[in-house]
Amino acid sequence: MASSKSPFCLLARRLGSAAPLPVAAERAILGLPLIIRTIEASRDILYEGGPSDHCCVILDGWTCCYQLLTDGRRQILLFHVPGDLPDLQGLHLPSPDFGMATVTRSIVAFVPHSDLRTLSDRYPTIAQAFWREAIVTAATHRAWIVSLGRRDARQKLAHLICELYLRLEAVGLTDGRSMPMPLRQTDFADALGLTSVHVNRTLRSLRSQGIVDLYGRRSTILDWEALRAVADFNPKYLHLTD
């Protein structure tokens, strides 16, 4: 089992979530060379179209992937939480087609592409786990496309809260139905294609109906079944094992 003191504890847990990794493969993950950086909130980690020779693992904090329009408007493509590998595609593509930035103060581990490729070649189970991660990321993007195109504001917000709760629960970062919620209204707006005013009004609606409460930097789901019903939420696209 991965030591809880290892920077790659969450990564080993994540990659082994679908099927346990052999001990040798897990040890190889924990022994990867890495550079750990603490990055303040709202700072870029990766630039769209820029050079990339490392993949990153989120050890603490929240980040996001995004694209910018020429007029400066931002579309958030996905939020990332501890244990995620946001830019795994960099192993096979020469430059990213998205930017990546911190949402909160974050601790990020950078691992050279060359070492990850060697790891994949040496341990087929890890290669399969990386491939699975890429597929799940693609499935999550498809779910976001459906939300952007077909759900109304209330459904979009409820769907995102359901998703974030289950992803945080999967890495042990929830407390009952409560979870950290550092997103600002502008972050929600950029992810959901709404205005900040519309996000505020929608959050108040969910709160007034006793479905979700947001206070400070935490969110508590007061009625999980009602939230799922509002979102028409089906978690299958996340491919969580539990």
Q: What percent of the chain has pLDDT over 90?
A: 71
Least confident of 11-15, 173-177, 189-193, 218-222: 11-15
26-85 pLDDT per residue, tens: 888 888 888 999 999 999 999 998 888 999 999 999 999 999 999 999 999 999 998 899
Residue 241 reports pLDDT greater than 80 = no
200-212 pLDDT per residue, tens: 999 999 999 999 9
Least confident of 63-67, 97-101, 102-106, 171-175: 171-175
Residue 164 reports pLDDT greater than 50 = yes
Q: Identify the three-state secondary structure at position 120.
A: helix
Helices (H), 83-170: 113-122, 124-150, 153-170
CATH code at 9-143: 2.60.120.10
- CATH 1.10.10.10 assigned to 151-238: yes
pLDDT at 120: 92
d(CA 55, CA 82): 14
Sheet (strand 218-221) strand order:
178-180, 218-221, 212-215
* Alpha carbon of residue 40 to chain centroid: 18
Residue 162 reports pLDDT greater than 50 = yes
- Spans of all domains in the chain: 9-143, 151-238
